[in-house]
């Protein structure tokens, strides 16, 4: 029998390097001599994806958790405020003017803002007042039984949101920190799409072999470890990417800084949402003296001839359906404004202006005539808020929020698994190699810088964190060079150091 001599084991330093190196996958930088645009761009995307995931991840996690809580608010409100919202249908409803009078007694000193007539026979009438001392954007609303004109309760409201939803809405948007808190949610929305697009490029651009499609869409099975975690991170991200991008885009439309810029762009493209005009023409008699209650008739030639019920009747004859919000004339030169407020599919957002003296419709805006961009914005925002498709919309949003939470968990776990396991001490996972931008061809880098600068201008809370990343990266690199220069031994020659 021939005896085989076993191969000598590799040196200790080589074994340590091989054991510490992460397994080859899409997070491993490509070799420097790789050809093509993608091989140069990929390390830059990888480094950006890593740092943004680590540093923006907490903002995304808070947005996902608070958004998940927000999706439950319609069901909570239907239980908590059932007494204020629902009644038992009976007889004929009282005039809206009588219901407004009852609401005035329940909220004395308030200035009437609107009267909302519910779409169903079992809905209460909402009478909303502006009351001094409330925070900006908040009003006081009385909920009136339309069949006996008795007030069933009063609540502080934010737009049409009741206290539970307005509390969770504020938590999601601002963390109850006011205008300053809006920065957190805008940072999350400004970077979510960057993480998604970068992650998709890295995931789809990785070599996968014969079973490429299956590995793209189906998480890896097998022993627990970094490759399996990466597979879940990539596959789930691919499935939910469209939802992430939609949430990012719609969240930016009403953000504090980017939202203003997006609104200007939309207006310049002719995509602004039209609104009905309350101004009366010069030939109109108006509604009498400013501040008069148009819901009540009074003697005299300047009295309003159209009350709330007549305004509703005229609006119905113009084709308005569902829940109607009636705003009274602000002065003797203003009209009633009656708007549909159905925010589920199909949307009903028509509105009319009605002369309180003659009942003539002075202006009308139909949702079907909205510009495409305005419709997309309306649909997108309502879908973001879980309103467009009811319960199904809420379930989809909850699944997207859970997917984002899972993605963040897997990303931080992969970072943990990348940490060095030798040398002792508490160490974090290594980031991708520095200097990735040097590998990007000039013909790609130049337009990339221009596009990034434009995006940073229009999305300030994308640009500012990006500048902070670059400055921090430069500072860390400088500190690392300084530390190395202090630890170098005199025996090392410049040639050895360069090698």
Reported as a single tens digit per residue, the pLDDT across 349-380 is 999 999 999 999 999 999 999 999 999 999 99
**pLDDT above 80 for 320:** yes
**CB 378 within 8 Å of CB 349:** yes
Say what the pTM is. Answer: 0.84
**CB 143 within 8 Å of CB 129:** no
Give the span between the Cα atoms of 498 and 189, in whole angstroms: 43
**pLDDT above 90 for 211:** no
Residue 112's H or E segment, with its range, is strand 111-117
Give the span between the Cα atoms of 44 and 429, in whole angstroms: 18
110-114, 125-129, 361-365, 477-481: least confidently modelled range: 477-481
Residue 17's H or E segment, with its range, is helix 12-20
Helices (H), 125-208: 163-174, 178-205
Q: State pLDDT tens for residues 43-100.
A: 889 989 998 999 999 999 999 999 999 999 999 999 999 999 999 999 899 999 999 9
Helices (H), 206-225: 212-217
Q: What percent of the chain has pLDDT over 70?
A: 83
Highest mean pLDDT (candidates 290-304, 307-321, 411-425) = 307-321
Q: Could you tell me how many helices (H) and strands (E) the chain has, helices first?
A: 16, 8
What domains can be seen in the chain, in order of their start residue?
Answer: 47-81+177-272+388-414+443-478 (no CATH), 82-161 (3.10.450.40)
Average pLDDT over residues 388-413: 96
Closest CA to 350 of 375, 368, 336, 335: 368
Which residues, other chains included, contact 92 with Cβ-Cβ below 8 Å and sequence gap of 6+?
147
**pLDDT above 60 for 232:** yes
Which residues, other chains included, contact 305 with Cβ-Cβ below 8 Å and sequence gap of 6+?
297, 356, 357, 358, 359
| Cβ neighbours around 435 below 10 Å, total | 11
Q: What DSSP character marks residue 342?
A: B
**pLDDT above 50 for 34:** no
């Amino acid at each position: 029998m021939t005896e085989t001599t076993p191969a000598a084991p590799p040196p200790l330093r080589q074994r340590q390097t091989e054991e510490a190196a992460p397994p080859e996958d899409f997070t491993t930088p490509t070799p420097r001599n790789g050809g093509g645009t993608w091989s140069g761009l990929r390390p830059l995307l990888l480094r950006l994806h890593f740092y943004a995931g680590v540093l923006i991840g907490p903002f995304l996690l808070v947005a996902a958790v608070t958004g998940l809580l927000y999706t439950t608010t319609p069901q909570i409100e239907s239980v908590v405020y059932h007494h204020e919202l629902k009644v038992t249908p009976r007889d004929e409803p009282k005039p809206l003017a009588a219901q407004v009078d009852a609401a005035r007694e329940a909220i004395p000193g308030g200035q009437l803002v609107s009267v909302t007539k519910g779409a169903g026979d079992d809905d209460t009438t909402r009478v909303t007042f502006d009351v001094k001392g409330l925070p900006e954007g908040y009003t006081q609303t009385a909920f009136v039984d339309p069949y006996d004109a008795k007030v069933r309760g009063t609540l502080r409201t934010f737009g049409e949101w009741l206290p539970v939803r307005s509390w969770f809405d504020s938590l999601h948007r601002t963390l109850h920190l006011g205008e300053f808190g809006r920065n957190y949610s805008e940072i999350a929305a400004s970077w979510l799409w960057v993480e998604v697009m970068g992650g998709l490029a890295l995931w789809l651009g990785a070599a996968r072999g014969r079973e490429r499609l299956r590995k793209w869409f189906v998480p890896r099975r097998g022993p627990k470890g970094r490759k399996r975690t990466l597979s879940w991170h990539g596959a789930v991200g691919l499935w939910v990417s469209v939802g992430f991008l939609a949430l990012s885009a719609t969240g930016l439309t009403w953000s504090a800084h980017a939202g203003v810029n997006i609104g200007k762009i939309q207006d310049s493209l002719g995509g602004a949402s039209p609104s009905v005009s309350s101004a009366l023409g010069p030939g109109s008699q108006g509604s009498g003296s400013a501040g008069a209650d148009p819901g009540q008739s009074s003697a005299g030639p300047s009295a309003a001839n159209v009350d709330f019920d007549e305004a509703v009747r005229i609006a119905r004859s113009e084709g308005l359906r569902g829940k109607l919000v009636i705003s009274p004339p602000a002065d003797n030169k203003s009209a009633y404004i009656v708007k549909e407020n159905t925010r589920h599919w199909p949307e009903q957002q028509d509105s009319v202006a009605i002369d309180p003296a003659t009942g003539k419709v002075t202006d009308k805006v139909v949702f079907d005539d909205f510009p495409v961009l305005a419709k997309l914005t309306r649909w997108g925002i309502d879908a973001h808020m879980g309103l467009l498709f009811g319960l199904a919309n809420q379930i989809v949003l909850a699944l997207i929020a859970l997917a984002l939470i899972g993605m963040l968990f897997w990303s931080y776990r992969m970072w943990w698994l990348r940490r060095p396991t030798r040398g002792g001490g508490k160490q974090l996972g290594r980031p991708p190699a520095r200097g990735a931008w040097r590998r990007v061809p000039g013909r790609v880098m130049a337009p990339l810088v221009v596009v990034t600068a434009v995006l940073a201008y229009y999305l300030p809370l994308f640009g500012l964190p990006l500048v902070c990343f670059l400055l921090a990266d430069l500072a860390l690199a400088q500190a690392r060079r300084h530390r190395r220069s202090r630890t170098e031994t005199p025996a090392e020659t410049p040639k050895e150091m360069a090698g």
